[in-house]
Structure 1
Amino acid sequence: MTKLKLATVWLGGCSGCHMSFLDLDKCLIDLAAKFDLVYSPISDIKAYPEGVDIVLVEGASANEEHLELIHIIRQGTKTIIAFGDCAVTGNVTAIRNPFFSANISLRLAYIEGADVNQQIPHAPGIFPPLLDKVVPVHYIVPVDICLPGCPPSALSICAALEPLIKD
C-alpha cells in the first residue's frame, strides 16, 4: 500500500491546532499507518515538498513569508484544510487589523509598550515584513476544507481526515 503524504503548516497562530492534532491519540496511530508526515513544525524538514496529498494549515497569513509559503503549498498540494479559526477567519491573529497598518502595531509593541531599547527591529532577517492586514488562508489561495475551532477538537480533526485517508 502506498502511503499518502501529509503535511501540517503553522502560519500566524498559537500552535493550539497542532496540540489538538497531537491529542488524536489512538486515531493518530491508526492514521499514521496510512500516511507519511512529510512536512510539519513538529519535524525538522526545511523545505515544503512537492506532491503532498493533504495539508493542515494552521494560522492566518500575517507576513510576507506566510504569503510565499501558502502559494508554494497550493501549488504542491492536492487538498488544503484550513485548520482552526485563525486559518478559517483570521481570529485572534487578525486583532491588529483595525489599525490598518502593520507599522502602527509595531510602534505600539516596540516603542510605546517597551520600557527599554525602544526601537522597531529593522535589520534584515530579524522578522519577515508584516502584512498590513492579517488574512485567512482562503483570501490568498483556494481551500478545499475548512475545519473551524479554536482549536478544533481531536475528534473533528479525525473526522475530517478519515474520509481522505481511505484504504
Structure 2
Amino acid sequence: MNNAKITVATAWLDGCSGCHMSFLDMDQRLVELAQLIDIVYSPLVDAKELPETVDVGILEGSISSEDDLEKAQQFRKHCKLLISLGDCAVTGNVPALRNHFKLADVLNRAYHENVTLQPQIPTRGVPALRVPVKPIHGEVAVDVFIPGCPPSAEAIWYVLSELIAGRMPEPSTVTRFGA
C-alpha cells in the first residue's frame, strides 16, 4: 500500500448530488485516482465516520439546515483543505431561492397547499431549516472554490490532480458558474 496517498472526504449538503455524479463521470480516471487518494468518508463509500484528520474535504450543496451547518463545521475542523464544489456550495444557488420568502410560507406551500393526503409539516426525522440559506463560506472558511452546475469531471480532475502534485489549483481556468 502506498503511504503517500492523500486522504479525501466528501459530503453533500442541500443540493441535488449532481457534483458527486460529475465526480463519478471521471470514468476510467477514477482507477488512476484510486492509486493516488484514499476516500475515507463519502456517500460513495461505506465509511460512516469522518476521521480525525483528512487532507482534503469536498463539500457540495448549500447550508440550509442545522445538519448541514454541523457537517460543514465538522469538515472544517477535520480537513486540512476544504473545497466548495459546485454553484450551490459556492453561491447558495437553487436552495437559496427560498431566501426570498418567509420560511413559514415555504413550509406551508410545500406541506399544506401542495398535499392532498394528510397535509402536515414534518417534525420528526427532518433537520431544522436555517434562515437564510448560505453558501459554505458563509459559515466556515473555504480554501478552494469550484463553480459549475455541476462542475465538469475535467474540472474536478484538474483540481485533484493539482492538489496531488502539491500545487494550489486555479479552478477558474477550467470552469465557471453555471458551466
**TM-score if structure 1 supplies the norm length?**
0.93
Amino acid at match of 1:4: I
Distance in 1 between residues matched to 2:52 and 2:165, nearest whole Å: 21
C-alpha deviations, 1:42-88, integer Å up to 9, x for none? 12322211211011111001100111111111010011110000000
Distance in 2 between residues matched to 1:52 and 1:23, nearest whole Å: 23
Q: How does 1:8-19 map to 2 (within 5 A)?
A: 8-19=10-21
Residue 30 of structure 1 pairs with residue 27 of structure 2 = no
Residue 120 of structure 1 pairs with residue 131 of structure 2 = no
Count of residues in correspondence between the two structures: 164
Distance in 2 between residues matched to 1:145 and 1:60, nearest whole Å: 15
Identity of matched residues, %: 48
Distance in 2 between residues matched to 1:30 and 1:166, nearest whole Å: 14
Distance in 1 between residues matched to 2:28 and 2:151, nearest whole Å: 17
2:107 equivalent in structure 1: 106
Distance in 1 between residues matched to 2:45 and 2:101, nearest whole Å: 35
Conserved? CA contact 1:60–1:93, under 8 Å: yes
Amino acid at match of 2:162: P
Structure 1: which 5+ runs fail to align? none
How far residue 106 of structure 1 moved from its aligned partner, in angstroms, is 1.2
1:149 equivalent in structure 2: 148
2:137 equivalent in structure 1: 138
1:92 equivalent in structure 2: 94
Secondary structure of the equivalent of 1:114? coil
1:65 equivalent in structure 2: 67
Q: Which has the higher contact order (CA 8 A, sep 6+)?
A: 1
Structure 2: which 5+ runs fail to align? 167-179
**TM-score if structure 2 supplies the norm length?**
0.87
How far residue 166 of structure 1 moved from its aligned partner, in angstroms, is 2.3
Residue 41 of structure 1 pairs with residue 43 of structure 2 = yes
Amino acid at match of 1:65: D
Distance in 2 between residues matched to 1:73 and 1:22, nearest whole Å: 21
Amino acid at match of 1:109: A
Distance in 2 between residues matched to 1:72 and 1:26, nearest whole Å: 31
